């Protein structure tokens, strides 16, 4: 049922790389790099061995014709973030998000990176220039960057204005993860980094909350002229944490009969409430290596990377539901009383247990080289990458019983229902009578209704070949470049989540063979408090082992029919070909600096074929579909830069680009979501093989000023004109008190636009300081302010305009730093503004509210080779995720949209040792 794991390769590969590097590093040969790169051999502190690499990244930013931003990622002394996505949001205009479908927000880590707030699939993701396979699933081409660790990735380069020599399917830009090479450092070294972390929310609740990581890397230059270089890194991380969230159970109901919540969002009634507690254990390990040969005439390289991410996630959900069961009657047909006001009846205490374990894996190799003649150079490279997303354990268990209705025996015409007070926007409060409170407060009810397991995996193998030829001139025509690309991705997947692997127990409401046990009889513990409050129903954390034992005993995993397996199968192939040509025109003046103009054109051809299961409302129509699609795109571009005297630089860009629909949006099985307790159909999600690619014209203009004393300022304006924007929408059927089934299917909107201003600066006191010790202080920051708009069509007669999904109006960072003598410190504040989460039809649109984070790091060099670091993340204990119905914070969102979630603070101690 699942693809063989790459895991057997992981630890042997890591060990082999470390051993081979150790033998080279301690071979005792003189280090030619000491002479070759003497000017960058040392930094102010021998421990900061990335100083040379960091300067090279900054130099790349300054030398670029277009607009790029870089950040160095390996400084674990000052940063407690141990995944790449969390570090990327330091950059101007970069925000992050998570996959809420797999409880991603509960880890406290970011997964996906947005450039200027655009949908994460608008980016092209590369690792050392290699386009990565998708290992995150979902309806996006985004790459889940929590797979990557700062122990192996040396820097992140965000190119916001890629030219014709880079991938054109990058409306927002290109995100390139850089692994170090031996040529990035001034001398050979061996370095060990060790850290320990504590998650305060988990520890306060008596849960596992400790963790740690170790990383070892080493670099060596050798050969008569230092022409050979080898770099290897290996790391292992394991840490535990917890999260708490509160949300509504179901979408809001219109308070007045005949209206919809969207028509009158100020008059809605909450429907049910739930409290969620999550336990997480994250394991991340991997290895990377590079071997380079560099001479004046020839460069050769080999790269290998392995990365593994495991998240063991357990969720316990306690809830109060507005519902009636068999033998109970609603005096208000459709939920509305005689005056037309919504009056819910019945209070059903419920519990839901969920395991959402995730395994992600990536292995990649690259080989290539460049021959460099006097004027002509030729580069060739080939690469292979294999990515995998697996959910080997995805279990659920539901507990449901008889609702409290305030009558003898809880039968007959209901007298009481659940009312929810929303006056505290972050803490919906159930209003209960004393008898109702006593009823729902007992863990002797309800009984277990079912236990279920699901299975899913997704794999993608990507093969890429690239080639280019350059000609360099001495006059105005400084460079001509042409090249091409061929890329093929093979994808396979399986999803079984339709209830086929469910076992039902005997309860007061359902027939079965084995009686379902009440919640009180399960092993586990009960929380004393929750989010600083008391809940009307105790929150029981059921033992994970108890549910896993039930799955093993009652669920026949091997007994699935071929028909059921077919419904979840997916296979497909996608091919992309590209050719490009660019020219660089250079105009040098005696007094006005240098102007470079780079016109270019790129053509890309895309073809995909797929086989997947699809169905309509009629089961008789369920069948395999063979789908195919092809489209091409021609993208001209012009990039220009004026490097004026005195440290001033002006950059401008006009370019065409596009964004391919995600494979899952084009092809895949139809999936259903059912109520965890009642098994009623909630939603159906389908692909749309007729989706068109989003296309855009992009315009950027920016000015920057730099000095040699770590002082600079940048400001840029941008505008994007979008066509065929893919809009996530929800359409409901049914009427009355129940909205009915929600159908999700992506489709192309009518168009959209985005315009914004982006500014950043960094100022170190240095020689301006009144005292020497104060010269290490400095400040920095960046801010992006933008307006976005998209027009789309919900139905034949309904056209609507809103923001672009996931695009905040404001993104901001501010930092106060110090670096003098043995002490380094950094105080970093990040704000990501409110974003549109999902577009609805009868409900108000769902929004992710603005999020804030304050982080502190302090490092002290105990010797020239040993540095101690202390760091804290989310010092002010802000929410990690906060979704609402409507743009204001008045109405907290329901269930899977996330609600209000906190993961607490993280404290870290680290030690960096360099030899």
608: Cα within 13 Å, side-chain hemisphere: 25
Tokens 């990035």 locate to: 184
For residue 663, the 8-state DSSP code is: H
- In sign, the C-alpha dihedral spanning 430, 434, 436, 438 is positive
Separation between Cα atoms, residue 214 and residue 197, nearest integer Å:
12
Give the pLDDT score at 621.
Answer: 65
E strand residue ranges, 121-188: 123-127, 130-131, 155-159, 173-178
Residues 6+ apart with CB under 8 A from 14: 234, 236, 285, 286, 287, 306
Mean pLDDT of 684-693: 80
Q: Do residues 912 and 76 touch, judged by C-beta distance below 8 A? A: yes
Residues 6+ apart with CB under 8 A from 653: 66, 67, 161, 637, 638, 639, 640, 698, 699, 700, 701
Give the pLDDT score at 5.
Answer: 44
C-alpha to C-alpha distances, 720 to 201, 376, 671, 886, nearest whole angstrom: 42, 36, 34, 26
Cα angle vertex 665, ends 659, 669, to 5°? 160
Q: Do residues 97 and 214 touch, judged by C-beta distance below 8 A? A: no
Q: Do residues 386 and 133 touch, judged by C-beta distance below 8 A? A: yes
Q: Which of 175, 161, 176 is nearest to 651 (CA)?
A: 161
Q: Do residues 378 and 469 touch, judged by C-beta distance below 8 A? A: yes
Q: Which of 83, 85, 113 is nearest to 174 (CA)?
A: 113
Structure-token pair, residue 320: 């109060």
Mean pLDDT of 79-100: 87
Mean pLDDT of 38-43: 35
Tokens 């192939």 locate to: 573
Rounded to two decimals, what is the model's pTM?
0.89
Q: Which of 71, 70, 166, 165 is nearest to 123 (CA)?
A: 166
Structure-token pair, residue 854: 């304050």
Report DSSP letters for 614-647, one per residue. E--SSGGG-EEEEEEEEEEEEEEEEEEEEE-GGG
- HEC string of 277-325? EEEEEEEEEEEEEEEEEECCCEEEEEEEEEEEEEEEEEEEEEEEECCCC
With H, G, I as helix, E, B as strand and everything else as coil, classify residue 206.
Answer: coil
With H, G, I as helix, E, B as strand and everything else as coil, classify residue 165.
Answer: coil
On the question of pLDDT at 873 being above 70, the answer is yes
Separation between Cα atoms, residue 832 and residue 812, nearest integer Å:
7
CB atoms within 10 A of CB 581: 17
Separation between Cα atoms, residue 528 and residue 542, nearest integer Å:
15
pLDDT digits (tens, 9 = 90+) for 716-758: 999 999 998 876 555 544 332 235 677 777 777 788 899 999 9
Lowest mean pLDDT segment, chosen from 13-27, 364-378, 643-657:
13-27
Q: Give the H/E segment covering residue 55.
A: helix 51-63
Give the pLDDT score at 8.
Answer: 43
Give the pLDDT score at 37.
Answer: 41
Separation between Cα atoms, residue 266 and residue 893, nearest integer Å:
15
462: Cα within 13 Å, side-chain hemisphere: 23
With H, G, I as helix, E, B as strand and everything else as coil, classify residue 491.
Answer: strand
Give the pLDDT score at 615.
Answer: 59
Where does the pLDDT of residue 20 fall: very low under 50, low under 70, confident under 90, or very high at 90 and above?
Answer: very low
Q: Give the H/E segment covering residue 826.
A: strand 823-832
Selected residue with higher pLDDT from 499 and 856: 856
Beta strands 906-914 and 189-199 are: antiparallel
With H, G, I as helix, E, B as strand and everything else as coil, classify residue 128.
Answer: coil
Tokens 């000052």 locate to: 78
Give the pLDDT score at 16.
Answer: 41
Q: Is 899 left (phi over 0), alpha (psi -120 to 50) or beta?
A: left
Phi and psi torsions of 806, nearest 5°: 70, 10
On the question of pLDDT at 413 being above 60, the answer is yes
- In sign, the C-alpha dihedral spanning 885, 890, 891, 893 is positive
Q: Which residues of 797-808 are buried (b: 16+ CB within 10 A; e: fewer)?
A: eeebebbbbbbb
On the question of pLDDT at 549 being above 80, the answer is yes
Q: Which of 633, 481, 377, 588 is nearest to 163 (CA)?
A: 481
Residues 6+ apart with CB under 8 A from 469: 376, 377, 378, 379, 481, 482, 483
Beta strands 623-643 and 328-329 are: unpaired
Give the pLDDT score at 1.
Answer: 44
CB atoms within 10 A of CB 573: 14
Separation between Cα atoms, residue 280 and residue 199, nearest integer Å:
11
- In sign, the C-alpha dihedral spanning 440, 443, 444, 447 is positive
Residues 6+ apart with CB under 8 A from 646: none
On the question of pLDDT at 321 being above 60, the answer is yes
Mean pLDDT of 826-835: 95
Backbone Cα Rg of the chain: 29
E strand residue ranges, 736-822: 742-744, 747-748, 751-764, 777-793, 799-802, 810-820
Mean pLDDT of 216-221: 96
- In sign, the C-alpha dihedral spanning 766, 770, 773, 778 is negative
On the question of pLDDT at 403 being above 90, the answer is yes
Give the pLDDT score at 46.
Answer: 43
Structure-token pair, residue 489: 């991705």
Q: Do residues 268 and 246 touch, judged by C-beta distance below 8 A? A: no
Lowest mean pLDDT segment, chosen from 117-131, 542-556, 596-610:
117-131
Separation between Cα atoms, residue 239 and residue 904, nearest integer Å:
14
With H, G, I as helix, E, B as strand and everything else as coil, classify residue 554.
Answer: helix
Separation between Cα atoms, residue 741 and residue 670, nearest integer Å:
14
Q: Which of 463, 496, 275 is nearest to 382 (CA)?
A: 463
Give the pLDDT score at 748.
Answer: 77
Lowest mean pLDDT segment, chosen from 194-198, 671-675, 711-715:
671-675
Give the pLDDT score at 331.
Answer: 94
As a whole number, the mean pLDDT across the chain is: 87
With H, G, I as helix, E, B as strand and everything else as coil, classify residue 271.
Answer: strand
On the question of pLDDT at 83 being above 70, the answer is yes
């Amino acid at each position: 049922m699942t693809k063989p794991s790459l895991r057997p390769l992981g630890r042997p590969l890591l060990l082999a790389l470390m051993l081979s590097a150790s033998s080279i590093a301690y071979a005792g040969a003189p280090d030619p790099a000491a002479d070759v790169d003497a000017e960058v051999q040392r930094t102010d502190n021998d421990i900061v061995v990335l100083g040379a690499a960091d300067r090279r990244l900054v130099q790349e930013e300054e030398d670029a014709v277009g607009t790029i931003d870089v950040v160095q990622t390996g400084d674990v002394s000052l940063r407690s973030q141990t995944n790449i996505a969390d570090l990327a949001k330091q950059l101007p205009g970069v925000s992050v998000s998570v996959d809420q479908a797999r409880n991603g927000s509960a880890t406290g880590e970011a997964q996906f990176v947005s450039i200027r707030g655009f949908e994460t699939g608008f980016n092209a993701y590369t690792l050392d220039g290699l386009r990565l396979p998708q290992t995150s699933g979902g309806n996006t081409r985004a790459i889940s960057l929590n797979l990557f660790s700062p122990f192996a990735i040396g820097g992140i380069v965000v190119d916001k204005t890629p030219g014709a020599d880079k991938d054109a399917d990058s409306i927002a830009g290109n995100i390139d993860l850089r692994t170090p090479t031996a040529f990035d450092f001034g001398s050979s070294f061996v370095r060990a980094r060790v850290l320990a972390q504590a998650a305060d929310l988990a520890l306060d609740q008596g849960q596992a909350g400790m963790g740690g990581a170790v990383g070892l890397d080493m670099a060596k230059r050798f050969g008569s002229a230092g022409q050979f270089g080898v770099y290897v890194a290996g790391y292992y991380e394991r840490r535990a944490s917890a999260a708490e969230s509160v949300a509504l159970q179901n979408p809001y109901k219109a308070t007045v009969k005949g209206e919809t919540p969207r028509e009158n969002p100020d008059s809605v009634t909450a429907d049910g409430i739930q409290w969620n507690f999550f336990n997480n254990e994250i394991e991340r390990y991997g290895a990377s290596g590079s071997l380079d040969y560099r001479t004046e005439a020839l460069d050769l390289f080999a790269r290998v990377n392995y990365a593994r991410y495991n998240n063991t996630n357990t969720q316990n959900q306690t809830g109060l539901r507005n519902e009636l069961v068999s033998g109970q009657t609603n005096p208000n047909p459709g939920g509305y009383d005689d005056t037309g006001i919504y009056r819910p009846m019945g209070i059903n205490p419920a519990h839901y247990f969920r395991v959402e374990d995730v395994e992600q894996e990536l292995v990649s190799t690259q080989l290539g080289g460049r021959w460099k003649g006097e004027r002509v150079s030729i580069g060739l490279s080939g690469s292979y990458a294999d990515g995998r997303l697996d959910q080997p354990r995805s279990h659920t268990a539901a507990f449901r019983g008889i609702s409290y209705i305030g009558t003898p025996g809880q039968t007959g015409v209901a007298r009481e229902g659940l009312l929810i007070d929303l006056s505290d926007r972050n803490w919906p409060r159930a209003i209960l009578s004393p008898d109702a409170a006593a009823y729902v407060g007992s863990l002797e009810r309800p009984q277990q209704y079912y236990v279920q397991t699901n299975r899913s995996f997704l794999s993608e193998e990507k093969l890429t070949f690239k080639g280019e030829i350059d000609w360099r001139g001495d006059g105005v025509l400084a460079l001509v470049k042409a090249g091409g690309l061929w890329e093929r991705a093979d994808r396979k997947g399986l999803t079984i989540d339709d209830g086929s692997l469910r076992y039902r127990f005997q309860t007061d409401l359902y027939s079965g063979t084995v009686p379902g046990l009440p919640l009180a009889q399960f092993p586990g513990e009960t929380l004393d408090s929750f989010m600083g409050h008391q809940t009307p129903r105790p929150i029981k954390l059921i033992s994970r082992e108890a549910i896993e034992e039930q799955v093993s005993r009652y669920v026949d995993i091997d007994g699935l029919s071929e028909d059921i397996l077919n419904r979840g199968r997916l296979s497909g192939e996608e091919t992309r070909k590209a050719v490009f040509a660019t020219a660089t025109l250079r105009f040098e003046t005696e007094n006005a600096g240098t102007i470079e103009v780079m016109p270019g054109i790129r053509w890309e051809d895309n073809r995909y074929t797929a086989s997947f299961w699809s169905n309509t409302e009629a089961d008789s129509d369920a069948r395999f579909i063979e789908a195919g699609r092809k489209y091409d795109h021609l993208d001209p571009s012009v990039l220009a830069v004026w490097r004026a005297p005195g440290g001033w630089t002006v950059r401008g860009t006009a370019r065409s680009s596009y964004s391919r629909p995600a494979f899952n949006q084009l092809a895949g099985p139809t999936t259903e979501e059912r109520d965890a307790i009642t098994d009623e159909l909630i939603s159906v999600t389908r692909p749309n093989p007729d989706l068109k690619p989003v296309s855009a014209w992009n315009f950027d203009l920016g000015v920057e000023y730099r000095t040699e004393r770590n002082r600079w300022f940048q400001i840029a304006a941008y505008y994007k004109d979008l066509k065929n924007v893919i809009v996530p929408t929800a359409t409901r059927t049914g009427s009355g008190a129940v909205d009915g089934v929600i159908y999700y299917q992506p489709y192309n909107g009518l168009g959209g636009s985005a315009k914004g201003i982006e500014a950043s600066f960094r100022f170190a006191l240095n020689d301006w300081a009144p005292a020497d010790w104060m010269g290490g202080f400095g400040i920095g920051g960046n801010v992006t302010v933008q307006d976005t708009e998209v027009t789309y069509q919900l139905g034949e007669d309904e056209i609507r305009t809103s923001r672009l999904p996931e695009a905040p109006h404001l993104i901001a960072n501010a930092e106060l730093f110090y670096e003098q003598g043995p002490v380094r410190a950094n105080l970093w504040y990040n704000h990501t503004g409110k974003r549109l989460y999902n577009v609805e039809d009868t409900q108000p649109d769902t929004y992710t509210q603005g999020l804030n984070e304050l982080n502190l790091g302090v490092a002290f060099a105990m010797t020239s080779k040993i540095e101690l670091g202390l760091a804290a993340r989310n010092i002010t204990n802000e929410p990690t995720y906060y979704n609402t119905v409507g743009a204001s914070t008045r109405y907290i969102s329901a269930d899977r949209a996330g609600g209000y979630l906190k993961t607490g603070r993280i404290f870290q101690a680290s030690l960096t040792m360099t030899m």
